[in-house]
Amino acid sequence: MKMSLRGSLSVAIATAGLAASLIVPASASAAIGSGAKGDLSLVTPAGATVHFGGSSFSKPFVDFLTTGNNVGSYVALNKTATFGTDSGAGSGDGRTGVSAGTYDIGFSDQPMNVLAGTAPTGYTSQTVVNQTFTQVPLALGGAVVAYNLAGITGLKLSANIIGSIYNGKTTKWDDDAILALNPVQKKALMALNNKTITVLYRNSSSGTTFAFTQYLNQATHGLTPGASGSVMEGTGNAWKATTVSAVAGNSGMASTLNSTAGAIGYVEYSYLLVPGNKLSTASLQDANGEWLQPSLTNIAAAATAAAKTISVENFSINFEPGKGVWPLATYSWAIVKTAQTNAANGELAVKFLAYAIVGGQLKASANGYVPLSATAQKSAIASLMLVKSGASVLLTAKK
């Protein structure tokens, strides 16, 4: 599937003009939940429980906010909250779980979008999807291409070469194309004596796979399959590489990269910070052709370069133009049903998200993510204020 979400119908996260009419925090604030005038009320009903899961991309951030007594975590702020365990099973699991009612919150690196093929089974109208589900950005991060070659760091890998590796045309680490791009590492690469490249891929529906294949498609001008997040690669067909290994989630990708000499894979940036992970990351080219190593600064530049309001219909920030812009970046989204059947659990779900989207962003950088902009925060809170149980709004600000 070769597609671009550019130019599709753009509908803002919040109804036009709504955010300006609501009393919501303008930026991340340590005082969220204090009950001060204009602040959100985050008091939750006793006995409320939330189950959630999905994206392994956002799992480190969600785990930080919902487990232990981390300073600034929601658990520390509101001890009446009871949370399940984030599955981290992949974006497809998050969308399926919230649609089926297994999860109160589903996490996905792509929102439910009919055009992108990420809407639940049976949904053919984006209007109906938008009425049924409230979808808000939770975290902003990037993915990296990582590899395991002892003593060899800073390899340059073009999108054409990465696509060639995954499609079985480039099978050895001392391939002429890799050597030509990496004169400094040439001697070390040749000393590997035709070391075979082991290709790692995600074994279930994955938002990181969606972003990775979309990046390859854009950067190779359509010569690599487009994005769907399906198992193996974007079109749902197997990669043509023959030395391949399936892994579960970003955590599985990181651990397998750590343990498999000669492996290559794609993994979310925050996993570089996990103790025990010693991943070498490839330099990638931005849209201007400049070689970059990943950083929170150039991941943030991707969101800035997009120069638009991120929406359910227009959510991609991959391969944006400009200098110093990381080419493989994405938002991770939180999805809840707009009409909640369990008032207490629904209230906990939206109040936790309100905290994560505002106060939680103060801890984003330390966990390997870029804090959401004040504009994105405000728009997301306005959307969450539309979630109801019956006639009751579940998230309000104190007047």
**CATH label of the domain that carries residue 376:** 3.40.190.10
**pLDDT at position 33:** 67
Residue 218 in domain: yes
**pLDDT at position 239:** 80
Q: For 163, how many CA atoms within 13 A lie in the half-sphere containing its CB?
A: 18
**pLDDT at position 16:** 26
**pLDDT at position 266:** 96
149 and 98 co-located in one domain: no
Residue 321 in domain: no
* pLDDT(230) > 70: no
58 and 123 co-located in one domain: yes
**pLDDT at position 162:** 96
67 and 150 co-located in one domain: no
| Reported confidence tier of residue 347, pLDDT bands at 50, 70, 90 | very high
Residue 256 in domain: yes
Backbone angles phi and psi of 264, in degrees to 5: -135, 145
* Residue that terminates a domain, selected from 272, 306, 340: 306
86 and 26 co-located in one domain: yes
**pLDDT at position 131:** 97
* pLDDT(241) > 90: no
Sign of CA dihedral 326, 360, 363, 52: negative
**Nearest CA to 382 among 10, 9, 25?**
25
* pLDDT(382) > 60: yes
Is the pTM higher than 0.85? The answer reads yes
Q: What are the helix and strand counts (H, E) for the chain?
A: 13, 14
Distance, CA of 206 to CA of 212 (rounded, Å)? 10
Residue 312 in domain: no
Q: Is 151 left (phi over 0), alpha (psi -120 to 50) or beta?
A: left
The pLDDT mean for the chain works out to: 87
**pLDDT at position 308:** 66
* Residue that terminates a domain, selected from 274, 306, 338: 306
For the ranges 134-138, 295-299, 307-311, the lowest mean pLDDT is seen at 307-311
**pLDDT at position 204:** 83
When pLDDT is averaged across residues 303-324 and rounded to a whole number, the result is: 88
* pLDDT(12) > 70: no
Beta-strand pair 133-147/280-281: antiparallel
Residue that has been written with the tokens 């399959």 in this structure: 225
**Nearest CA to 251 among 105, 92, 90?**
90
pLDDT in tens, 244-258: 898 999 999 999 999
Residue 323 in domain: no
**Nearest CA to 56 among 166, 139, 148?**
139
Distance, CA of 101 to CA of 89 (rounded, Å)? 16
196 and 294 co-located in one domain: yes
Residue that has been written with the tokens 């890998």 in this structure: 157
| Reported confidence tier of residue 237, pLDDT bands at 50, 70, 90 | low
**pLDDT at position 233:** 57
* pLDDT(134) > 50: yes
Residue 3 in domain: no
**pLDDT at position 240:** 85
* pLDDT(359) > 50: yes
User: What type of residue is 221?
Assistant: H
| 185 touches 177 (CB < 8 A) | no
| Reported confidence tier of residue 238, pLDDT bands at 50, 70, 90 | low
**pLDDT at position 34:** 64
| Reported confidence tier of residue 165, pLDDT bands at 50, 70, 90 | very high
In the chain, the percentage of residues whose pLDDT exceeds 70 is: 86
Domains contained in the chain, number: 2
Query: Which stretch of DSSP H or E encloses residue 136?
Result: strand 133-147
Beta-strand pair 49-50/82-83: parallel
| 55 touches 88 (CB < 8 A) | yes
| Reported confidence tier of residue 27, pLDDT bands at 50, 70, 90 | very low
Residue 67 in domain: yes
When pLDDT is averaged across residues 270-284 and rounded to a whole number, the result is: 92
Domain that holds residue 241: 143-306
Q: Which residue has the higher pLDDT, 15 or 126?
A: 126
* Residue that terminates a domain, selected from 306, 322, 356: 306
| Reported confidence tier of residue 107, pLDDT bands at 50, 70, 90 | very high
C-alpha separations of 195 from 148, 174, 297 in Å: 11, 7, 34
* pLDDT(14) > 60: no
**Helix, coil or strand: residue 311:** strand
- Helices (DSSP H) in the chain: which residue ranges? 18-21, 59-66, 74-77, 91-100, 126-132, 159-166, 176-181, 186-190, 207-219, 249-259, 296-306, 343-357, 374-384
Residue that has been written with the tokens 């760091």 in this structure: 153
When pLDDT is averaged across residues 67-79 and rounded to a whole number, the result is: 77
